[in-house]
């Protein structure tokens, strides 16, 4: 009898623990939850447990099933999967966080407040660069009246300087002058000059080529400070709904810093590091030792990249047609043989291939080399990405599906380049710019990178999505839309930042959609971007960013 009772007791305990294990950590209900699954399903409620999606369904289904769970009412808000940026530089973004952008000089008080905000965020020795790119002057003073002593009073221990938009005038504090050993005895360069006080001391103003003495390439950052910068950068990036970043600018040291931050639970973002062919030492090291997958579900190093050409804006894109200016001779950054060797080594060692190819000739070269290597080596599930595609010949678009290759575009760059097309190339080549929908229909997917923090590029995904669905500038341009049929639907544009982006990172089984057993990476929005005019994409705010079930950003702004 005692044995029988003991067995019953054990069963009862098992039942209790089993029941507890099925209780979600939290339930979100009463939302418009766009799962971005294959059917673009929209659900009302989702249950989360241990960082993953435990269950999904209607409000009644989920609330009835999990009565005792903690519940959050989404109040009808739109929810999408966590957004994945296909290209950004975390280190450069981190270093730029201490920059101040001053459209106009309102007053000394406003400037001092902005500088003090940076001092509160960063330790002594940090560079604080103030970009002044406005024409308006203050009502009570002028920016040209500032000098070294004034900046010293605000920030003695920081490398502080103000620089105008075209880099012809800089106002420096004593610290930045000392950093670059600019003293009263320093001779100004031939096409530059210094300003002096009446007593002969430097006033901190540099003119013309003297501004070039502030060489940012000499900026040194300790490992500890870089860790702090990266930690702060992650806290900023998640505010715009980005939960993962693909980064092809990381080096051995920055990858090591990220690992340490992940170990100490100080870095919530998911990072897919792409090793650049230009960093030959690191490239060869990884080619030798092999890929690294899912370090604590935060970091993978399984991709390598090479550039075939460069920016169209600077006439560095390899085009099949000639540039209008006969003096412009475009050239490949890496020869076809180098690209061949790169892809061969990557395939042999099971690395994912990323190739930057902007011009149509560069894309054609890449596809030719890729096709030869696929036939020769028959790589399994290679998921090669051709990045920065701006121009492409129609016949080459058809090859993406056959070669199982993923197209990756930079919408903002392409929209900006609409305005310079006629200056650089003939109309016949312009017809091949930004063929986003054609690439999507032929390859089955399209991914998007913001290229942050490249100058004048926005990291905000919803602005990039606006470009995709309108092919227009948000700044009121009356320019004709080029290739209007190449717009994307809002569903496809969001998928370029979610499911397809996850697929390109070999993570479609764990991220990219809001489905059972996937990581609970979600973003709560202030607007229903799926049922609103495209202009709403320019004003939508992120209310919550959730990564692996944890609310890592919660807006305190009034809805």
Model pLDDT for residues 13-24, shown as the tens digit of each residue: 444 444 445 899
pLDDT of residue 281: 96
> Burial level of 214, CB count in 10 A (0-12/13-18/19+)?
buried
Task: Flag the least confident range among 257-261, 399-403, 452-456.
Answer: 452-456
CA atoms of 94 and 258, how far apart (whole Å)? 12
Mean pLDDT of 190-208: 95
57, exposed or middle or buried, with CB in 10 Å at 0-12, 13-18, 19+? middle
Q: What mean pLDDT, rounded, does the chain reach?
A: 91
Per residue in 60-90, pLDDT (tens digit) is 999 999 998 999 999 999 999 999 999 999 9
Q: How far apart are the first and last CA of the chain?
A: 64
pLDDT band at 107 (very low <50, low <70, confident <90, very high): confident
User: CA 429, CA 260: separation in Å to the nearest integer?
Assistant: 48
Residue 103 has pLDDT above 90, yes or no: no
Strands 42-43 and 385-387: unpaired
Which residue matches tokens 């099933």?
A: 65
For 490-543, what is each residue's pLDDT tens digit?
999 999 999 999 999 999 999 999 999 999 999 999 999 999 999 999 999 999
User: Can you tell me the distance from the alpha carbon of 53 to that of 514, in angstroms, rounded to the nearest whole number?
Assistant: 7
Confidence category of residue 218, pLDDT binned at 50, 70, 90: confident
Q: What angle do CA 498, 499, 502 make, to 5 degrees?
A: 85
CA 5/CA 16 separation, integer angstroms: 16
Over 80: is that where the pLDDT of 140 sits?
Answer: no
Query: At a CB cut-off of 8 Å and minimum separation 6, what does 303 contact?
Result: 246, 248, 272, 273, 274, 275, 351, 352, 353, 354, 385
Please determine, for residue 32, whether its predicted confidence score (pLDDT) is greater than 50: yes
**By percentage, how much of the chain surpasses pLDDT 90?**
79
Q: How many CB atoms are located within 10 Å of the residue 71 CB?
A: 17
- C-alpha angle 193-194-195 in degrees, rounded to nearest 5: 130
Q: Which of 319-323, 382-386, 434-438 has the lowest mean pLDDT?
A: 319-323
Per-residue pLDDT at 308 = 96
**Stretch 381-408: mean pLDDT:** 97
Q: Kindly state the average pLDDT of the residues 476-495.
A: 87
The answer for residues whose C-beta is within 8 angstroms of residue 359's C-beta and 6 or more apart is: 309, 312, 317, 318, 319, 320, 330, 390, 391
In the predicted model, is pLDDT for residue 478 greater than 80? no
Quote the CA–CA distance of 308 and 32 in Å, as a whole number.
43
DSSP H or E segment with residue 55:
strand 52-57
User: At residue 335, what are phi and psi to the nearest 5 degrees?
Assistant: -70, 165
> What is the mean pLDDT of the segment spanning 357-383?
96
pLDDT above 60 for 1: no
Q: Which two structure tokens, joined as six digits, stand for 540?
A: 């939508």
Mean pLDDT of 434-452: 97
Dist CA 470 CA 473 (whole Å): 8
Distance CA 338, CA 161 (A): 42
Q: Which residues pair with 356 in a beta bridge?
A: 307, 387
| Average pLDDT value for residue range 232-247 | 97
What is residue 10's predicted lDDT score, i.e. its pLDDT?
46
Assess whether the previous peptide bond of 413 is cis (omega < 30° from 0): no
Q: What is the pLDDT of residues 326-361, one digit of tens each?
A: 778 777 788 899 999 999 999 999 999 999 999 999
For 311-367, give the DSSP string.
-TTTT-S--SSPPSSTT-----SS-HHHHHHHHHHHHHTTPEEEEE--SHHHHHHHH
pLDDT band at 198 (very low <50, low <70, confident <90, very high): very high
Burial of 183 (0-12, 13-18, 19+ CB in 10 A): exposed
Q: 409: which residues sit within 8 A by CB, 6+ positions away?
A: 388, 389, 390, 434, 436, 439, 446, 447, 448, 449
Percent of the chain with pLDDT over 70: 93
Q: What is the mean pLDDT of residues 279-284?
A: 96
DSSP 80-99: EEPEEESSB-HHHHHHHTT-
- Spell out the domains of the chain, with CATH numbers in brackets: 1-76+518-559 (2.30.40.10), 92-218 (3.10.310.70), 308-445+471-488 (3.20.20.140)
CB 391 within 8 A of CB 319: yes
Tokens of 267: 């870095």
The helix (H) or strand (E) run that includes residue 111 is: helix 108-121
264-281: average pLDDT: 96
Contact indicator for 59, 29 with CB cutoff of 8 Å: yes
- 3-state SS string for 32-47: EEECCCCCCCEECEEE
Q: Residue 135: which pLDDT band, with cuts at 50, 70 and 90?
A: low
Q: What are phi and psi of 137, to 5 degrees?
A: -105, 165
Q: What is the mean pLDDT of residues 393-400?
A: 96
7 band by pLDDT with thresholds 50, 70 and 90 = very low
The stretch 150-173 carries a mean pLDDT of: 94
């Amino acid at each position: 009898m005692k044995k029988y009772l003991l067995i019953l007791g054990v069963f009862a305990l098992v039942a209790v623990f089993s029941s507890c294990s099925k209780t979600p950590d939290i339930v979100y209900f009463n939302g418009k939850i766009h799962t971005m699954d294959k059917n673009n399903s929209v659900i009302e409620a989702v249950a989360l447990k241990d960082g993953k999606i435990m269950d999904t369904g209607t409000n009644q289904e989920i609330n009835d099933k999990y009565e005792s769970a903690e519940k959050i009412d989404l109040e009808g808000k739109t929810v999408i999967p966590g957004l994945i940026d296909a290209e950004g530089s975390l280190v450069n973004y981190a270093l730029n966080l201490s920059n101040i952008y001053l459209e106009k000089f309102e007053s000394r008080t406003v400037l001092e407040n902005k500088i003090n905000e940076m001092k509160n965020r960063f330790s002594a020795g940090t560079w604080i660069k103030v970009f002044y790119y406005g024409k308006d002057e203050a009502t009570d003073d002028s920016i040209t009246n500032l000098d070294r002593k004034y900046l010293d009073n605000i920030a003695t221990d920081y490398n502080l300087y103000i620089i105008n938009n075209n880099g012809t005038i800089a106002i420096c504090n004593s610290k930045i002058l000392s950093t670059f050993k600019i003293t009263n005895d320093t001779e100004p360069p031939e096409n530059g000059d210094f300003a002096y006080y009446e007593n002969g001391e430097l006033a901190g103003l540099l003119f013309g080529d003297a501004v070039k003495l502030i060489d940012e390439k000499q900026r040194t950052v300790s490992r500890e400070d870089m860790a702090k910068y990266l930690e702060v950068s992650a806290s900023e990036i998640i505010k715009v709904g980005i939960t993962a970043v693909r980064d092809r600018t990381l080096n051995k040291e920055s990858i090591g810093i990220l690992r340490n931050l992940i170990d100490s639970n100080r870095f919530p973002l998911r990072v897919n590091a792409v090793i650049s062919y230009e960093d030959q030492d690191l490239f060869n090291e990884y080619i030798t030792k092999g890929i690294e997958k899912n370090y604590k579900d935060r970091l993978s190093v399984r991709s390598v990249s090479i550039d075939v050409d460069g920016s169209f804006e600077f006439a560095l894109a390899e085009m099949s047609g000639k540039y209008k200016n006969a003096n412009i001779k475009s050239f490949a950054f890496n020869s076809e043989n180098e690209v061949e060797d790169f892809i061969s080594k990557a395939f042999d060692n099971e690395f994912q291939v990323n190739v930057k190819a902007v011009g149509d000739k560069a894309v054609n070269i890449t596809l030719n080399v890729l096709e030869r290597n696929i036939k020769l080596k028959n790589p399994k599930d290679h998921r090669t990405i051709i990045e920065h595609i701006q121009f492409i010949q129609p016949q080459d678009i058809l090859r993406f599906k056959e070669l199982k290759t993923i197209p990756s575009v930079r919408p903002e760059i392409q929209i900006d380049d609409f305005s310079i097309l006629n200056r650089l190339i003939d109309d016949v080549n312009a017809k091949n710019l930004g063929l986003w929908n054609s690439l999507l229909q032929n390859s089955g997917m399209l991914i998007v990178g913001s290229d942050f923090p490249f100058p004048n590029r926005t990291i905000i995904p919803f602005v990039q999505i606006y470009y995709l669905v309108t092919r227009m500038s948000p700044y009121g341009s009356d320019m004709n839309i080029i290739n209007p049929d190449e717009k994307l639907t809002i569903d496809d544009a969001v998928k370029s930042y979610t499911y397809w982006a996850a697929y390109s990172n070999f993570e479609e089984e764990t991220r990219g959609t809001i489905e059972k057993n996937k990581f609970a990476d979600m973003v709560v929005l202030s607007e229903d971007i799926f049922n609103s005019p495209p202009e709403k994409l320019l004003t939508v705010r992120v209310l919550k960013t959730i990564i692996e079930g944890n609310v890592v950003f919660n807006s305190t702004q009034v809805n």
